[in-house]
Copies of this chain bind each other. A is one copy, B any other.
Amino acid sequence: MPASKKKAPAKKSLPLSARERIVLTASRLFYQDGVRATGIDKIIAESEVAKMSFYRHFPSKNDLVAEYLQRRHESWMKWFVAAAEQQLAQPGVGLEVIAEVLREWFEEPDFRGCAFINTQAETPAAEERLNGVIREHKAALQTYIAELAHRLALEAPLQTAAHAMVVIEGSIVRVQMTGDLTVCDSCSHLLRKLGRTARRSDTASTDPDLPPYFPGF
């Protein structure tokens, strides 16, 4: 995540391309301070790029925001799935591993909630492109959790995933607002309850109401 930013005695000493520096700087500032509160000038200054270089790569600020969300979606999902799979390697665990994965995230010092929830709240009448990325992110997460529920032999994995999404979003928002990590205990408790009553008797891999599409991530 940290973009290498050194002074630039010679221009070629910067290891990353101008476009990459812009995206990395913008991602940091957008997440930390908000999309609306972060101006183009600040991004340009901190990424040590000329204004024309910026507008050569991004026709408008909104295009940069879209790329920020798109990249965030990819990296966050990759991280989440990897962390969840690692937790799932332990025997006897259930859906509540999600709470432990989230805890890792919440403990990061610069955690400031979900970039997609925040962007949604910041831009009520956002561009349709942004709303699309936001919706797709949440849909992808829900799909993965449904797959998880299915692998854990829970009944009605789609429905269970929908319920789990409520718990996940709620946990994110509450940690962001209160900074209280005991929210993870509530999260774990709720997810365990979800898993408890929804366990199938068989442990085979037949699919009762499997979602039609499982991205790999």
Give the shortest distance, in Å, between A18 (CB) and chain B (any CB).
27
Q: Which residues of B contact A169 (CB under 8 A)?
A: 169-170, 173-174, 177
Q: Which residues of B contact A177 (CB under 8 A)?
A: 116-117, 120, 134-135, 138, 169
A24–B182 Cα distance when bound, in Å, is 37
A166–B185 Cα distance when bound, in Å, is 11
Give the shortest distance, in Å, between A143 (CB) and chain B (any CB).
14
Spot the interface stretch: A2-10, A33-41, A58-66, A75-83: A33-41
Q: Which residues of B contact A201 (CB under 8 A)?
A: none
A199–B190 Cα distance when bound, in Å, is 16
Interface size class of A (residues with CB under 8 A): 35 or more
A207 at the B interface (CB under 8 A): no
A178 at the B interface (CB under 8 A): yes
Q: Tell me if A121 and B124 are in contact (CB < 8 A).
A: no
Q: Which residues of B contact A36 (CB under 8 A)?
A: 36-37, 122
Q: Which residues of B contact A135 (CB under 8 A)?
A: 177-178
Most chain B CB atoms below 10 A, which of A117, A123, A138, A182:
A117
Binding site for B on A (CB under 8 A): 32-34, 36-37, 112-113, 116-118, 120-125, 134-135, 138, 162-163, 165-171, 173-174, 176-178, 182-183, 186-187, 189-190, 193-194, 197
